[in-house]
Amino acid sequence: MSVVIKIINLYFRFSGSPTDRSVCPTFSVGTNLSSRIRSVTEEPTPLNPPIPHRVQPRVREKEMPGEALLQVTDLTTTFFTNDGQVRAVDKVSFSVSKGESVALVGESGCGKSVTAMSIMRLLAPGGKITGGEVRFRGVDLVALSEKEMQKRRGNDIAMVFQEPMTSLNPVFKVGSQVAEAIRIHRKVGRKEAWKQAGDMLELVAIPDPIKRLDDYPHQLSGGMRQRVMIAMALSCDPDLLIADEPTTALDVTIQAQIMELLANLQNKLGLGLLLITHDLGVVAEFCERVIVMYTGRIVEEAGVNELFANPSHPYTRGLLRSLPNPEKEKLEEVADRLPTIKGMVPSIKNLPKGCKFNPRCPDVMEICLGNEPARMVVSDDHDARCYLWGDVADPERVEK
């Protein structure tokens, strides 16, 4: 804990605003926001859709680690580069329960993969977890030694990577790669491991699994390779599966097969699933809860139905609107222009002051340029890092 406080203090010193406490939502909420509350007599500028004006802003409290399988609290990951330090993940907090599927969505560079790698402690050289906790069944993984962590990987948390072409070793048979994973974590003989590898391939619905054990990765199609990756990940019976863009490199019909398989397996084995993706369609169809990330921060979190029905952060709204939707366009004669989010994702080395989305936000207000908003409560099980949901909303919108 002292480390966390030290880092927070450091952050304040360097951000140059010691009063800026909204960046750490877990600290005495009442005092840090009430100072900015003004009595607003007039209605705020109508937004689309109108957002209820709240007298008492509510900031999401830190959840106590309880039932959750995985509890990530204020996770901060910094990369130390020649150009200086880059905070790729900044105070990310979320949880995954047993049997729950949670999606982590965002565009490239938003820190979703780094979050996953931090949980697994598989960060590239130069990357370091500089704050926060990753509790798995109550044990802080950040504090574990490398040897202890190695035991956790595979046994407790397993991961499926994006590129099935490059994550398998081309010079070993598929069977020996799956058997290797089994033998690292289980005390079994070669023969037994090989047999179990065959069972695993059968589990992921690979036709003719015993024959396929003798194949090399290049003899398998992309979809089959991804099935092998899933078999490897599940071979030691983990409780949590992290899938980092598992279908991005695959065709849609194969993507449908793989996602269906993952959903079936998750259901059957009671796995917690953390699905990292940029495809909102996949999220809508396969996940229960959605976490939206932008510039290393969580900007919105909600149940899947709630998020798609009532997106509350302007970034999420922009993302959803910018998707072409054949179902919607059926009704229209000619294809219209797609709504876009103006500008582009800022460089993580050079983020704007205040809310990180303010240069692109259609609803930007004066206050957004000052301090970064905390995660505000929109409704039960839905929060957004946006001043639209706090009482501090400035009725005077900034003219841009």
Partner 1 sequence: MTVSETTGSEQQTPRVPAGVGETLVTVRDLKKYFPVQRGLLSRVVGHVKAVDGVSFAISRGETLGLVGESGSGKTTIGRCILRLIEPTSGSVDFDGTEIVGLDSKSMRRMRQHMQIVFQDPYGSLNPRMTVGTIIAEPLVIHGGLTSADRADRVAQLLLKVGLDPSYSARFPHEFSGGQRQRIGVARALATNPKFLVLDEPVSALDVSVQAQVVNLLQDLQDELGLTYLFIAHGLAVVEHISARVAVMYLGKIMELSDRRSLYENPLHPYTKALLSAVPIPDPAAKNKKRRILLTGDIPTPLNPPAGCVFHTRCPIAQFPICGEVVPPLVEHQPGQFAACHFAGEPIPDGTGASTLDVKSVPLPQPTPAS
Task: Give the footprint of partner 1 on this chain (CB under 8 A).
Answer: 107-108, 155, 185-188, 196, 199-200, 202-205, 207, 221, 223-224, 235-237, 251-257, 259-261, 264-265, 268-269, 278-286, 304-305, 308-309, 318-320, 322-327, 329-330, 335, 337-341, 344-345
Closer to partner 1 by CB, 187 or 400: give it: 187
* Smallest gap from residue 378 Cβ to partner 1 (A): 17
Query: Closest separation between CB of residue 196 and partner 1, Å?
Result: 5
Looking at beta carbons only, is 129 or 250 nearer to partner 1? 250
Helix (H, G, I), strand (E, B) or coil at 191: helix
Distance CA 288, CA 131 (A): 28
Name the residue nearer to partner 1 (CB basis): 85 or 155.
155
The residue (of 85 and 257) whose beta carbon lies closer to partner 1 is 257
The least CB distance from residue 250 to partner 1, in Å, is 9
Cα gap 74→91, rounded to integer Å:
4
- Supply the minimum distance, in Å, between the C-beta of residue 114 and partner 1: 16
- CB nearer partner 1, residue 75 or residue 275: 275
For partner 1, the closer CB: 214 or 237:
237
The count of residues in the chain is 400
Q: Is 200 helix (H, G, I), strand (E, B) or coil?
A: helix
Residue 34: φ, ψ to 5°? -60, -30
> Cα–Cα distances in Å, from 363 out to 50, 145, 358, 373, 386?
12, 46, 8, 14, 10
Beta carbons of 283 and 276 less than 8 angstroms apart: no
Q: Which letter, b or e, does each residue of 308-319 get, where b requires 16 or more Cβ atoms within 10 Å of its Cβ?
A: eeebbbbbbbbb
Amino acid identity for residue 290 in this structure: V
Q: How far is the CB of 91 from partner 1 (least distance, A)?
A: 23
Give the residue with the Cβ less far from partner 1, 4 or 213.
Answer: 213
The least distance separating partner 1 from the CB of residue 52, rounded to whole angstroms, comes to 22
| SS3 assignment, position 234 | helix
Q: Least distance to partner 1 from the beta carbon of 392, Å?
A: 27
Q: What are phi and psi of 104, to 5 degrees?
A: -115, 110
